Structure 1
Amino acid sequence: MASNLLAGTASVTVDGATHLVEGGFKYNPSTVTRESLTGMDGVHGFKEKYIAPSISMSLRDTGGLTVNAVNGMKNVTVVAQLANGKTIIGRNMWTVESQEVDSEDAKFDVKFEGPQVTETTT
């Protein structure tokens, strides 16, 4: 019988190293964004702009992890296993933005961008 579990868990590795996901896991496999172009006489069409696919989450700041090392990540592979059975893979990714630790809950946000994020289903 198929599971009805759809959401709520995610496990993540970066270059094979497991990291504790505190929450907020998100991914965007899209490679373009579109914007409608309109004029005073109606809709003219649209424009398309490339965007970098991304994977983001809040990680737990464990004793064996340095935030500076996360900030320096380039050309890494990010793999996530989701509750719904999907596997999310980002290759040749790098971190963007800076990471700031909330030491009350030992967590920080990290966002990876790269040329491609794929999702496979079971």
Structure 2
Amino acid sequence: MASNMRRSGVTTGFIGGVSYDITETRYSPTRWVRETLKGQNGIHGYSENPQQARIVMTIRDAGGMTVSDFSNMVDEEVQLNLANGKTVGGSGMWCTEAIEVNTVEATMEVTFEGVSVTETTTS
């Protein structure tokens, strides 16, 4: 039996249960930011602070959507179903940053941040 060797590509992406045309995505489930504490006599250790989780999508603008609506999105369920079988998602996420539309490609980058992003893998 052959195994699935596909490693990349997004199959679907949803915000609040609504599917969008996605050209690219990035995500970060990172929970902590660590910085090395350096002194003149050597390394003293590190500091640790919480880091927000993030899902970033480049979405194709469509005639039926209003771009300004994204700035009002808070407490959203954001989900990516990846081609490798992994599901990535976050609950209670909010849209951050100003959204600009590239009219040549009809694309915009939308960033959602929240407390956590989870990854569910297939066996």
1:8 partnered with 2:26: no
How far did residue 105 of structure 1 move? 1.1
Residues 65-106 of structure 1: per-residue CA shift (max 9 Å, x gap): 111111110000001001111100110000000100011111
The CA distance in 2 between the partners of 1:14 and 1:41, in whole Å, is: 50
Instruction: Give the aligned partner of residue 18 of structure 2.
Output: 17
Within 5 Å, which residues of 2 pair with 1:34-113?
Answer: 34-113=34-113
TM-score by length of 2: 0.94
The CA distance in 1 between the partners of 2:105 and 2:5, in whole Å, is: 31
Unaligned runs of 5+ in 2: none
Unaligned runs of 5+ in 1: none
Residues 22-68 of structure 1: per-residue CA shift (max 9 Å, x gap): 22x00000111000001111110000111110000110001111111
| Runs of 4+ off more than 2 Å | none
Instruction: Give the aligned partner of residue 119 of structure 2.
Output: 119
Q: What is the percent sequence identity of the aligned residues?
A: 37
Amino acid at match of 2:72: G
